Amino acid sequence: MASPAPLPLAALRARLRALERPHASAVPALPLFAEIDAALPGGGLALGCLHQLIGADAAATGLAALIAGRLAARLERPALWLPAAKDLYPPGLAEWGLPPRRLLIAETAGQADRLWAMEEALRCPDLACVVGELAGLDLIAGRRLQLAAEAGGVTGLALHPQRSTAANAGTTRWRVAARPGGLWRLTLERCRGGMPGDWEVRP
């Protein structure tokens, strides 16, 4: 009996990806910035999983708004934001790509409620993206969020403050800081299937 011809590498990769994440959406990854996309597997930010953004307030907020806005526009579904305090300013978010017709905000009393709401929302395929402001994230909670994101096919962004001790739970882990001249310094600290790196980009 003749052995079957060996499959090319790309086809094998596609089969593995389909087996690992059966509910992943059919659209390819979201391109972010030209310089960074080359280093990310899939050519952009992976969808349908959890990503962690650590940084000082404003820069991380801006990056989250940018990602959520692009996802909402591309998938034509709303994004849900779970703020820690009542300080979100929708007119400013609109300038970073999240118009009011694609944004839902849910105010929570504490971290426990926010974690619960984020997990519930990640299981709802009618959302494009869920942004949750979490002070810290332990391994178990992070794993639950990751599984919920994969089950619902919704991209999750966990925003952590600068000095948080969040465990490594997401597919990618970023650190954002503002640089003079209107630039951002993006550090990819951990990436599943890719190499860490450091870039300065103009948003």
Partner 1 sequence: MTRIVALWLPLFATDRLTRPGKALADWRDQPLATFGRDGGALRVVAANAPARGAGVVPGLPAADATALCPGLKGVAAEPEAEVAALAALAEWCQRWSPWTAPAVTGLEGDHGVWIEVAGSAHLFGGERALLDDMAARLGGLGFTLRAGLADTPGAAWALARFGAERTGLLPEGAARQLLGAFPVAALRLPPAMVETLRRLGLRRIADLLGLPRAPLAARFGPLVAQRLDQLLGRRPEPLSPRPPAEKPLARLAFAEPIGRDADVAAATLALLADLAGQMERRGLGARRLTLKVFRVDGTVLGQSVGTSRPVRDPAHLARLFAEGRAGLDAGFGIEAMTLAADSADPLVGEQGDIETRPRGTTLPLLLDRLTRRLGEGAVFRPRPLASHWPERRSGRAPPLAPAPAAGWPPAGRPPRLSPPRPVVVSESDGVPSGRAEGPERLAAEWWRGKRGHRDYWRIEDESGRRFWLFRDETGDWFRHGEFP
First-residue to last-residue Cα distance in the chain: 58
String marking each residue 89-128 x if it binds partner 1 according to CB under 8 A: xxxxxxxx--xxxxxxxxxxx---x--xx--xx-xxxxx-
Residue 66 CB neighbour total at 10 angstroms: 17
Shortest distance (Å) from residue 3 CB to partner 1: 35
CA atoms within 13 A on the CB side of 54: 20
Alpha-carbon distance 64 to 43, whole Å?
19
Provide the 3-class DSSP secondary structure of residue 82.
Answer: strand
Torsion of CA 74, 158, 50, 153, to 10 degrees: -50
Q: Is 198 in the site for partner 1 (CB under 8 A)?
A: no
Q: Which of 32, 50, 52, 61 binds partner 1 (CB under 8 A)?
A: 61
As measured in angstroms, the least distance from the Cβ of 74 to partner 1 is: 16
Q: Is 22 an interacting residue with respect to partner 1 (CB under 8 A)?
A: no
Query: CB-wise, 80 or 137, nearer to partner 1?
Result: 80
What is the CB neighbour count within 10 angstroms for residue 97?
19
Q: Tell me whether residue 147 or residue 177 sits nearer to partner 1 (CB atom).
A: 177
Does 65 help bind partner 1 (rule: CB under 8 A)?
A: yes
Site residues for partner 1 per CB under 8 A: 56-63, 65, 78, 87-96, 99-109, 113, 116-117, 120-121, 123-127, 177-184, 203
